[in-house]
Chains A and B, each alone.
Chain A
Amino acid sequence: MRPHPVGVPLFDVDEMLDTERIIVCCGSGGVGKTTTAAALALRAAERGRIVVVLTIDPARRLAQSLGLTALDNTPCEVAGIDDSAGGSLDAMMLDMKRTFDEIVLAHSSPERARALLDNPFYQSLSSSFSGTQEYMAMEKLGQLDATGEWDLIVVDTPPTRSALDFLDAPTRLGTFLDGRLLRVLLVPAKAGGRAYAKIVGAGLGMFTKVLTKVLGAQLLTDLSQFVAALETMFGGFRARAEQTYRLLGEQGTSFVVVAAPEAAALREASYFVDRLDADGMPLAGLVVNRTHHSNASTLTVERSLAAAENLDEHREHPLAAAVLRIHAERVRLASREARLRERFTSAHPDTPLVEVEALAEDVHDLEGLREIGDALARVERLDQAG
């Protein structure tokens, strides 16, 4: 197993898994967030906890291994886990539109709900507003938490273009739905048709003139109907967003920032760690996935390349030359990763961290997740060399 870097606090994953109530995995896209979330959830369950993992967009084969063959928006038990410690694991995949639809249906009469569900603005908002997925993930987290059925909820966050979107989106959606602009747009629907011009002031008249020019009159009508329908349904959308946001800051919640040993991903991780700190959100630690190490790093890149060239020149020992080249590439990769990690740790010396060695294969079964879980907890596996 690779040695843990000297002077960097080690992220004690097992302690977190045994004590927390909510674990949120975040980080930029493509860093193995979903796999990390699933591995943490499985490990906690096999350590005896009653766990549910909420995933956003798992790879197909990983989803199958968790029994997530259908997007049904409710947790299902995962078969094949070791329940000897008394734990269990449920998993679900978030269906953003359905979660939104369910909120609408739960908070209004059937006709009202129908009108809203059919509105083109609602359809656009519920399936593609850049904050909707994040908001719905939080909504679902709140729902799961409220049932009290699980003693640990592990949440994967949406693959946002920037890790920070995840914290901002609920407030942004809340602000929009509760905002001043919508109140302005609400006027025509309430006043109806022709009375509109009288009610809105001169400034607003110009405003709607511009909007009508740019967007077309039909669009404005749809929009005001949408706003009206929404308004009657829930006045306090922002309050709801704030409530979910508060849940994240409570005792028993831990954030895990996930990164890959790439400059961009670690830069995002840095921003995210600072942001969590500024917002008073509890950070448990950083997971750096897919790192490489060498057990023979004293044999330098230059030395092994020179040796390989030497062998080539004499047309001897081609196998030795090939393994020396493989070694040189690996050491190069490992030292670049170490440099990137040091850049992060020098800016955040107190952030606990754990590195997970790159696996040659993608993870798509429970055994693969267990292997990741062991690596996260730094448990040596008998079948693993190095």
Chain B
Amino acid sequence: MGVTRARWRGSARRPGYGRPVSGERSAAEDGDDADGPWERRLHIVTGKGGTGKTTVAGALAVALATGGRRVLLTEVEGRQQIAQLFDTPPLPYQERKVASAPGGGEVFALAIDADEALLEYLEMFYNLRRAGRALGRIGAVDFATTVAPGVRDVLLTGKVKEAVNRPDGTRPSGMAYDAVVLDAPPTGRIARFLGVTAEVAGLARMGPIRAQADSVMAVLRPERAAVHLVTLLEEMPVQETVDGVAELSAAGLPLGGVIVNMARLPMLRAKESRLARRGELDREEIAAGIKETGVEPTSELVEALVWEAAQHADRVALEAGQRAEIMALGRPVYEVPLMADGVDLGTVYRFAELLRAQQMVG
């Protein structure tokens, strides 16, 4: 273990962007199939709120679809974040194509709604759709999906499982989707969300809900699924990631990689960084350089630049410390950069390329 996959590095100015760190073993060499590239059918993406979980899930879906595959991207929290990311109208409870991937790939998306999933479930197994609607009126659907959280999670994961296993004889793989990406609940809730059997065991010791939970667990095996964690290089998200990895391992759930989002590119050399943090950068040298380009190096301008360099160096140092904690987890780590102009659809494709370049997917 302890394989560190490529760190995001460089900018457009630095060739070698996103290539694996040299000397690193490939998954094929060490024969450890638990270290990626991730060829699982189900990819579960979690992370603390605000870490860009949905963006990374979208990028992973595009990366997986690249080269002509068909991928389903799903969300379960009713927030319509996929639609926002892909600039499409809100998604109904119905799979629809939201993006194309290079090489003829297709990304479909589905916003899974627990109430709809319950009605579908009733119809599928008991032909009870109308009765289901009646139940809705007296609040039973609300009850089953909102109040008994385990039941709700089983319905959501059950729908994901159905998409993972759905056959389609017209496609070369014989399956409707080559891979499914789930934009999952945040790190703090993920083990409970996926640990459906344990959660439901207390409530439903037998019966169809229990059977459904067991079949979900069958999909959550290491050879079929992986849980990836998205983090920023900040204290709280890193702490949650460390806790999340421990919790997922303890629950026997299949761990994937860690994706570091919004990483800053260090722009100063080590010695300059130390000077910058102390506010001791060579002001005369900076002034001379600026003057050469035709910008007037007033002392206010130079002081402002020195202060900004100090902020940058502090931030990079903080990130280095947090990165060390992430590396210590011994999981494959992938990095995507901070987008100063914000995230849009272009970012999704850019990140997909970066994840592929770092061999997160094959």
Interface set of A (CB-CB < 8 Å, partner B): 28-31, 57, 59-61, 120-121, 123-125, 128-130, 159, 161-162, 172, 176, 179-181, 184, 203, 206-207, 210-211, 213-219, 222, 260, 262-263, 265, 294-296, 299, 303-304, 306-307, 310-312, 314, 316-317, 319-327, 329-330, 332-333, 336, 360-362, 364, 385-386
- Say what secondary structure dominates the interface of chain A: helix
Q: A124-B148, A260-B50, A294-B308 are in contact. Are A299 and B288 (CB under 8 A)?
A: no
- Nearest B residue to A308 via CB reads B293
B185 neighbours in A (Cβ, 8 Å): 161
Q: Contact: A176 with B147, CB < 8 Å?
A: yes
B311 neighbours in A (Cβ, 8 Å): 330, 360
Q: Confirm or deny: B163 has a beta carbon within 8 angstroms of a beta carbon on chain A.
A: no
Q: Contact: B49 with A29, CB < 8 Å?
A: yes
Q: Contact: B308 with A214, CB < 8 Å?
A: no
Q: A207-B140, A263-B342 are in contact. Are A215 and B308 (CB under 8 A)?
A: no
CB-based closest 8 A-B pairs: A320-B289, A216-B207, A30-B50, A317-B289, A29-B49, A360-B314, A307-B293, A296-B304
B342 neighbours in A (Cβ, 8 Å): 263, 336
Could you show 22 A-B contacts with beta carbons less than 8 Å apart? A29-B49, A61-B235, A124-B202, A128-B149, A159-B188, A179-B139, A207-B135, A207-B140, A214-B207, A215-B204, A215-B207, A216-B209, A294-B304, A306-B293, A307-B293, A316-B289, A317-B286, A326-B312, A330-B311, A361-B318, A385-B307, A386-B307
A59 neighbours in B (Cβ, 8 Å): 235-236, 239
Within the complex, what minimum Cβ distance (angstroms) separates B298 from chain A? Answer: 9
User: A311 contacts which of B207, B237, B281, B293 (Cβ < 8 Å)?
Assistant: B293
Question: In the bound complex, how far is the Cα of B140 from the Cα of A207, in angstroms?
Answer: 9
Q: A180-B139, A329-B340, A332-B340 are in contact. Are A361 and B307 (CB under 8 A)?
A: no
Q: A207-B140, A218-B205, A322-B272 are in contact. Are A296 and B300 (CB under 8 A)?
A: yes
Q: Confirm or deny: B203 has a beta carbon within 8 angstroms of a beta carbon on chain A.
A: yes
Question: In the bound complex, how far is the Cα of B138 from the Cα of A307, in angstroms?
Answer: 68
A263 neighbours in B (Cβ, 8 Å): 342
Question: In the bound complex, how far is the Cα of B122 from the Cα of A263, in angstroms?
Answer: 39
- Say what secondary structure dominates the interface of chain B: helix
User: B236 contacts which of A218, A324, A362 (Cβ < 8 Å)?
Assistant: A362
Q: Contact: A124 with B314, CB < 8 Å?
A: no
| Residues of B80-133 contacting chain A, CB below 8 A | 118, 121-122, 126, 128, 131-132
Interface set of B (CB-CB < 8 Å, partner A): 13, 48-51, 77, 79, 118, 121-122, 126, 128, 131-132, 134-135, 138-140, 142-144, 146-151, 185-186, 188, 192, 199, 202-210, 234-237, 239, 267-268, 272, 279, 281-282, 285-286, 288-290, 292-295, 300-301, 303-312, 314-315, 317-318, 340-342
Question: In the bound complex, how far is the Cα of B240 from the Cα of A361, in angstroms?
Answer: 18
Question: In the bound complex, how far is the Cα of B207 from the Cα of A278, in angstroms?
Answer: 45
Q: Contact: B188 with A310, CB < 8 Å?
A: no
